[in-house]
Amino acid sequence: GWKPRLQFSWADIQEISRFSGSVFGTRILNFLNLNALHVLINKFFGSVALGLFSLVYQVIDLPTQRIAKTIMKVMYPILSKLQHKPKDYES
């Protein structure tokens, strides 16, 4: 029967790193951008303004997050099926 075994492939590591590296970099930049904004608002306008900003940001961002989450739940299975059929993906 089949037994699990550890396989290592530099080609696979490089392929995954190219994709995940750009995703990771984008997430870090977004994190730094938002936190820098928080630091600046707190420094120039104070903690009350920062609290209001954070609350308003969450209220504005919530619908976007809900919509994106719903779209991803629908699209993930569809795109998974199409990943090996590039011609179907184009149409």
Contact criterion met (CB below 8 Å) for 53 and 41: yes
Torsion over CA: 76, 78, 84, 86 (sign): negative
**Residue that is written with structure tokens 């936190």 in the block:** 35
Is pTM beyond 0.85? Reply is no
Which sequence spans correspond to the domains of the chain?
A: 10-45, 46-91
Which residue type sits at 4? P
Contact criterion met (CB below 8 Å) for 30 and 22: no
Continuous H helices in the chain: 10-45, 47-82, 86-90
Enter the tokens of residue 60: 């504005």
What integer is the mean pLDDT of 76-86?
83
- Could you read off the pLDDT of 45-79 as tens digits, one per residue? 999 999 999 999 999 999 999 999 999 999 988 88
